[in-house]
Structure formats: C-alpha cells, structure tokens
Amino acid sequence: MKKEEVPQDPSVLDKFTKEVCYAVDEKGEYTTTLSRGWQVKADALGITWQDVEARVEEARQQIKNGARSPIAYFMEVNMMDLAMVSAYTGFWQWTIKRHLKPDVFKNLSDKKLQKYADAFQISLQELKNF
C-alpha cells in the first residue's frame, strides 16, 4: 500500500493512540507511517466491546440473582481469567472457583478479600458491598 493510501478512518481509539503501519513511499521503499484507524478494524473492536459488555452485564445479573459472588463481576470488568486472578492473588484456581460461590464468599476473611481488592484495584468496601 502506498503511504498516501494508509487508512485514516476515525475510530474509538483515535483520541488516544495512532497505529504504526508499513507503506511504500515515493521512492518505492518501505517506510513507517501513522494511521488514525481503519473502519473494518474499528467495527471489529466495536463487536468485541459489545461482547465484553454483555459478559459484564451477565455477571452482574448472576450476582443479583445470588448465583455468583462479586468476584465474577470484577473478573469480567478487568477481563481477567482464573489463571490471571490466581497469579495476582496467590490463590489456587480451584480456590478462586470456590470463592465465586456466594455462600463461600460471604465467609471469606478481610485478609483474603483484600487480595482480591488489590488485584482488581478497588477498595475492600467496594468488593464487600457490591
């Protein structure tokens, strides 16, 4: 693609970042240039964010219905899986699965809950009073 043909479509990330692309300059040599975005990529990112928002809302409903603990919500909001939460908290993955149960969660000590709060970068009160 020629340097002047690099897409400059505005996107959600337009105000925050630009993407480095390779293009061919006037001399026929490869060079780098900045792109504001590409509509196809912006559409794909939009679909991905819709999926993330749906998962967050599903977790919120599960907590509201008493099926999961607040840990599930904050995992979704932070796009974390069991392995990542395990790495941040030091808890085994099977332990985290147990803590996702509301009855187990409400009996956790503040010390354990603080590990989750630190991993999710929230206060202990936010976690306990979700």
- When pLDDT is averaged across residues 93-116 and rounded to a whole number, the result is 98
Kindly report the pTM of this predicted structure: 0.71
Q: Which fold has domain 41-128?
A: 434 Repressor (Amino-terminal Domain) (1.10.260)
The secondary structure of residue 27, as a DSSP letter, is: T
* Residue 78 scores a pLDDT above 80: yes
- The ranges assigned to domains in the chain are 3-37, 41-128
- When pLDDT is averaged across residues 3-32 and rounded to a whole number, the result is 81
Q: Which of 87, 130, 80, 74 is nearest to 106 (CA)?
A: 130
What does pLDDT average to over the chain?
90
pLDDT tens string 21-60 = 888 988 989 998 888 777 777 777 778 888 889 999 999 9
* Residue 13 scores a pLDDT above 70: no
Between strands 19-24 and 30-35, the pairing is: antiparallel
Residue 99: predicted pLDDT: 98
CA distance 109 to 96: 14
* Contact between 74 and 127 (Cβ < 8 Å): yes
